Amino acid sequence: MDHNDQHPHDAPHVVSYGQYVLIWLGLLALTGITVALAGIDLGRWVIVTALVIAAIKSTLVLNIFMHLKFEHRMFRWFVVITLATLAIFFILLFFDYAFH
Amino acid sequence: MKPSESAVHAGHHHRDDVGSKIGMWLFLFTELILFGGMFLAYAVYRLQYPNEFKLAAIELDALVGTVNTIILLTSSLTVALSITAIQEGKKHLAQIMLGMTQVLALAFLVNKYFEWSHKFEVGLFPQSDVLLSKPPGEIIYFGLYYVMTGLHAVHVIIGMAILAVMMGFIASGRIAKDNAVRLELGGLYWHLVDIIWIFLFPLFYLIH
Amino acid sequence: MATTAVETGPDFYHEPSARKGLRGWIFSTDHKRIGILYGVTMMVFFTVAVIIGLLIRLELLYPGKTIIDPQTYNTFFTLHGIMMIFLFIIPGLPAVFGNFLLPIMIGAKDVFFPRLNLLSWWLFLAGGVLALVSLALPGGPADTGWTFYVPYSVRTTTNVLPALMAAFILGFSSILTGLNFITTIHRMRAPGMDWFKMPLFTWSLYATGWIQILATPIIGITLLLVAIERWFGVGIFDPALGGDPVLYQHLFWIYSHPAVYIMVLPGLGVVSEILPVFARRTIFGYKFIAYSSLAIAFIGSLVWAHHMFTVGMSDTGMFIFSFLTFLVSIPSAIKVFNWIATLYKGSIDPDVPLLYVLSMIIQFCIGGFTGLLLGTLAVNIHVQDTYFVVGHFHYVMFGGTGFALFAALHYWFPKMFGRMYAKRPAIVAWLLATIGFNLLYFPMFFLGYLGMPRRYYDYLPEYTIYHQISTVGSWVLALGLLVMVVNLIVALRKGAKASANPWGSKTLEWTVASPPPMENFHEIPVVTKGPYDYSEYERPHETK
């Protein structure tokens, strides 16, 4: 993506107030679910469910609040690369610690 | 800036909002990795001390944590709304939204202050006799708690400062309907601070 | 592109509209001035670090005390490491040559964030000054080694905190540079310059920028945690409080291994830049070299625990990290094969930049091979923490990146300063530096194999001869560096004025005056050809 193939002042994508409020309500609901699930004894699955829900919430924030969904594809690749890097750190670290 | 030096930015005589956003996202990645390092440490120690973490987490008030989560999520909403407002030319509404964000952020910090001071009162701070008498896993839990929520609070304060500057820019006209990228960048920072808390919350408050 | 007559006018040193005097420099947002500022400040830190290195070698000339006491010795190798790594090699090529050349090479007038660029330099200066100040503060300079391993770094009463803060600030500087370069490369390439028409030095700066962004924050948080341990006794790494010192090592090396690729990738880019010019041939395997930079950046982020094979990790972890370490050698090897293929049947001009490049390639290979040896678990057990490691990393970082930096200096000197240096003293300096370097560091492989530990102040008599050869090597090397620097300084004042393109190179920076004017280009060029188009030099029967 070049500077050259972009008009200097492309009108930015405007997200409506209603869309934002909807996402916010979704985030509140997901928070409620997380709290509710924490009360149930899921044993080892507690952390997995909590992290999955946190990931879903983050995806909403990233895509809508942070406009990632409406930006050029390249930004999404950047985010993926960063998250993949972090994931790899976790995985490789665990090859040491999980096998002690 | 001298005329010739401003001409050096010839590439920017056309404002390049995409480039500015690239810069901001790259900076956000560094923040993500900064906290990522702390989450790595958390993960290692949670693997090592699963029961002590559960015990220690009882000291944390899940209600306050939940309230704080709602506060931050709402503050992300108000920041996002302020951007739509400015994009529609509604300066006043944008300022109100940003003002609400600041109030919510302040409420978050106040809550955090009360949380921490309560723990200090019952003797749960680094190197305290009470803490040192606990099993190692619990000491580690509280160490991680203070460092991670502390570092996060620092970023909340930085975010408030950034948004305050944005409010100044709106007032002076440097951010306007057709020139709102700075506010977007400020908003991006704020949302990241929110995302970090989204992960901190369950990992510290909801371990039962 | 056709060579146009280079327009006259003031160069960026004499730009009339810039502020006058020192203020025109330390407040300048011009990338060329910032590059020069970095160069000057780095030279100061490098000189101090070299002197400390020479003193270390002098102490090791004989067993027992030679000139300094053990505590001083410990602070010396700590300082030598901190200064060379954080103040010289990591900023290194990107800060000086990246800043100066990147915009010109892609046909831009500056980087994307010029004011952030200036901030990067100010942070660099602040970090460097803080590191030097820690020498003078009560408590004495840090004696932990540049790696700040816990628990010693938490317990020692020396000035660890200023050193940690300095490293933290320097990390910020590095991040901002990487951020700037990535954005610049994405957004400011001249019309017609698509990704695969970019010079390979630019590719290397791009890959390096990503490592700077994704790896540096980890050292930031790690050093912050050590500082917090020292201040508040939190216990994150303290075994008595449930902490794990090995976790510190993991976190430290998650950055510090990719850091060596921050150091070396631009050096590899310089080699790819210089070879085509002095072989009068297009680079062999452009895309492979470009992609291999990205591959090294990626795989290099997966190998960090090979610094920790002897600390008690799980077998599974050790096998995986050893395997990944072997993998990372592949893209590096690809580059070397392509370089050799570039030289093959080329029209070789053995001028000074090429000489440094040739030394670099051989030394980098020695460093790389010994790296593979270190990556082999069975061998590592014997030579970890010995001089074998010291030899290895000096071969890659100094023999590799350092010599690439000398090559870059001799290649771009006429462009940056508008003068040409004398060739014969430069070749003498190169010869002395190469001979001295190898005399200094090759014996270390024997020392390590025979069991001499690193960072030791004293040693058994049977190691003496190797240490003495090494120390003599350090003197020869120092002489070579001295001749090199003096020759270049003389050239600054008395060298013949350089034309725009004394080497006959094809990249964009050689189309502007030497030194360039403030805005680089009076008109942004339109790029139609690749950066290494030497087709006019091809022999008639040669086919691609």
Per-domain residue ranges for chain A?
16-66, 72-100
**CB proximity list for C384: less than 8 A, separation 6 or greater:** C309, C310, C374
Nearest residue of chain C to residue B52 (CA atoms): C242
CA distances from C512 to A12, C9, C416, C496, C515 (A): 38, 11, 11, 18, 8
Tens of pLDDT, residues C138-175: 888 999 999 999 999 999 999 999 999 999 999 999 99
Q: What is the mean pLDDT of residues C207-213?
A: 97
B5 touches chain C (CB under 8 A): yes
The phi, psi pair for C496, rounded to 5°, reads -65, 145
Taking each continuous run of H as one helix and of E as one strand, the counts in chain B are 8, 0
Q: How far is C317 from chain A (nearest CA, A)?
A: 4
| Helices C70-82 + C31-59 axis angle, to 10 | 150
Give percent of chain A with pLDDT exceeding 70: 89
The kind and range of the H/E element at C32 are helix C31-59
Instruction: Say if the Cβ atoms of B22 and C183 lie within 8 Å.
Output: yes
Give the pLDDT band of residue A100 (cuts 50, 70, 90). confident
Q: What is the mean pLDDT of residues C277-292?
A: 95
- Looking at the predicted structure, is the pLDDT value of residue B53 above 50? yes
CA distances from B193 to B196, B201, C276 (A): 5, 12, 48
- Looking at the predicted structure, is the pLDDT value of residue C8 above 80? no
| Predicted local confidence at residue C26, as pLDDT | 93
Return mean pLDDT, chain C: 94
Q: How far is B127 from chain C (nearest CA, A)?
A: 6
| Predicted local confidence at residue B65, as pLDDT | 95
Q: What is the mean pLDDT of residues B29-41?
A: 97
Give percent of chain B with pLDDT exceeding 70: 93
DSSP helix/strand/coil, C266: helix
- Chain A CB contacts of C305 below 8 Å: 92, 96
CB-count exposure of residue C443 (10 Å: 0-12, 13-18, 19+)? buried
- Looking at the predicted structure, is the pLDDT value of residue A43 above 80? no
C228 touches chain A (CB under 8 A): no
Return d(Cα C110, Cα B12) in angstroms, integer. 10
Counting one residue from chain A and one from chain C, the pairs whose CB atoms sit within 8 A come to: 44
DSSP B176: B
| Predicted local confidence at residue C5, as pLDDT | 52
C234 vs A43, more confident: C234
- Looking at the predicted structure, is the pLDDT value of residue A42 above 80? no
Instruction: Say if the Cβ atoms of B144 and C519 lie within 8 Å.
Output: no
Q: Can you list the domains of chain C with their CATH numbers?
A: 31-537 (1.20.210.10)
| Predicted local confidence at residue B10, as pLDDT | 43
Give the pLDDT band of residue A11 (cuts 50, 70, 90). low
Instruction: Say if the Cβ atoms of A92 and C314 lie within 8 Å.
Output: no
| Predicted local confidence at residue C16, as pLDDT | 83
- Looking at the predicted structure, is the pLDDT value of residue B14 above 50? yes
Provide the 10 A C-beta neighbour count for residue A66: 26
Return d(Cα B151, Cα B42) in angstroms, integer. 14
Return d(Cα C502, Cα C510) in angstroms, integer. 8
Interface test with B, best of C28, C229, C236, C518 (most B CBs within 10 A): C236
Tens of pLDDT, residues C249-260: 999 999 999 999
| Helices C352-375 + C423-449 axis angle, to 10 | 10
Give the pLDDT band of residue C136 (cuts 50, 70, 90). confident
Instruction: Say if the Cβ atoms of C214 and A85 lie within 8 Å.
Output: yes
Instruction: Say if the Cβ atoms of A35 and B206 lie within 8 Å.
Output: yes
- Looking at the predicted structure, is the pLDDT value of residue C243 above 60? yes
- Chain C CB contacts of B40 below 8 Å: 250-251
The rounded radius of gyration (Å) of the Cα atoms in chain B is 21
| Predicted local confidence at residue C542, as pLDDT | 52
Q: What angle do CA C439, C478, C476 make, to 5 degrees?
A: 40
Interface test with B, best of A48, A81, A86 (most B CBs within 10 A): A86
Interface test with A, best of C110, C316, C526 (most A CBs within 10 A): C316
Closest of B72, B129, B78, B124 to residue B100, by C-alpha: B78
Nearest residue of chain C to residue A2 (CA atoms): C187
Instruction: Say if the Cβ atoms of C191 and A88 lie within 8 Å.
Output: no
- Identify whether the C-beta of residue C324 lies closer than 8 Å to the C-beta of residue C316: no
Tens of pLDDT, residues B135-162: 999 999 999 999 999 999 999 999 999 9
- Looking at the predicted structure, is the pLDDT value of residue C495 above 50? yes
- Chain C CB contacts of B16 below 8 Å: 112, 187
Nearest residue of chain C to residue B22 (CA atoms): C183
| Predicted local confidence at residue C2, as pLDDT | 46
Sole residue written with tokens 């030791």 = C456
The kind and range of the H/E element at C497 are strand C496-497
SS3 content of chain C, % helix, strand, coil (to 5): 70, 0, 30
B53 touches chain C (CB under 8 A): no
Nearest residue of chain B to residue A35 (CA atoms): B206
- Identify whether the C-beta of residue C461 lies closer than 8 Å to the C-beta of residue C63: yes
| Predicted local confidence at residue C1, as pLDDT | 43
B201 vs C538, more confident: B201
Instruction: Say if the Cβ atoms of A92 and C320 lie within 8 Å.
Output: yes
- Identify whether the C-beta of residue B32 lies closer than 8 Å to the C-beta of residue C201: no
Q: What is the mean pLDDT of residues C204-214?
A: 97
- Chain A CB contacts of C300 below 8 Å: none
- Looking at the predicted structure, is the pLDDT value of residue B2 above 90? no
B14 touches chain C (CB under 8 A): no
Q: How far is A69 from chain B (nearest CA, A)?
A: 14
- Chain C CB contacts of A95 below 8 Å: 314, 316-317, 320-321
C186 touches chain A (CB under 8 A): yes
Q: What is the mean pLDDT of residues C486-504?
A: 95
Q: What is the mean pLDDT of residues C261-267?
A: 97
DSSP helix/strand/coil, C233: coil
Tens of pLDDT, residues C371-428: 999 999 999 999 999 999 999 999 999 999 999 999 999 999 999 999 999 999 999 9
- The partner residue sitting opposite B195, judged by closest CB among A23, A28, A58, is A58
| Helices C286-299 + C315-343 axis angle, to 10 | 160
A83 touches chain C (CB under 8 A): no
Q: How far is B31 from chain A (nearest CA, A)?
A: 11
The phi, psi pair for A79, rounded to 5°, reads -60, -45
- The partner residue sitting opposite B33, judged by closest CB among C108, C217, C236, is C217
C317 touches chain A (CB under 8 A): yes
A73 touches chain C (CB under 8 A): no
Return mean pLDDT, chain A: 88
CA C210 to chain centre: 16
Counting one residue from chain B and one from chain C, the pairs whose CB atoms sit within 8 A come to: 136
Provide the 10 A C-beta neighbour count for residue B176: 15
| Predicted local confidence at residue C19, as pLDDT | 84
Instruction: Say if the Cβ atoms of B19 and C519 lie within 8 Å.
Output: no
Nearest residue of chain A to residue B180 (CA atoms): A12
- Looking at the predicted structure, is the pLDDT value of residue B13 above 60? no
- Identify whether the C-beta of residue B80 lies closer than 8 Å to the C-beta of residue A15: yes
- Chain C CB contacts of B139 below 8 Å: 235, 241-242
**Dihedral Cα C64, C68, C74, C80, nearest 10 deg:** -120
C532 vs C538, more confident: C532
Give the pLDDT band of residue B6 (cuts 50, 70, 90). very low
Report the neighbours of C using a cutoff of 3 or more CB pairs below 8 angstroms.
A, B
Nearest residue of chain B to residue A43 (CA atoms): B208
Q: Which of A84-93, B89-98, C127-136, C344-353 has the lowest mean pLDDT?
A: C127-136
Single-letter amino acid code for the residue at B8 = V
Instruction: Say if the Cβ atoms of B46 and A21 lie within 8 Å.
Output: no
Tens of pLDDT, residues B71-110: 999 999 999 999 999 999 999 999 999 999 999 999 999 9
Q: Extract the tokens encoding A86.
A: 């972090």
- Looking at the predicted structure, is the pLDDT value of residue A39 above 90? no
- Looking at the predicted structure, is the pLDDT value of residue C220 above 60? yes
Q: What is the mean pLDDT of residues C274-300?
A: 95
| Predicted local confidence at residue C383, as pLDDT | 97
| Predicted local confidence at residue C227, as pLDDT | 94
Ranges of beta strands (E only) in C310-463 are: 419-420
B129 touches chain C (CB under 8 A): no
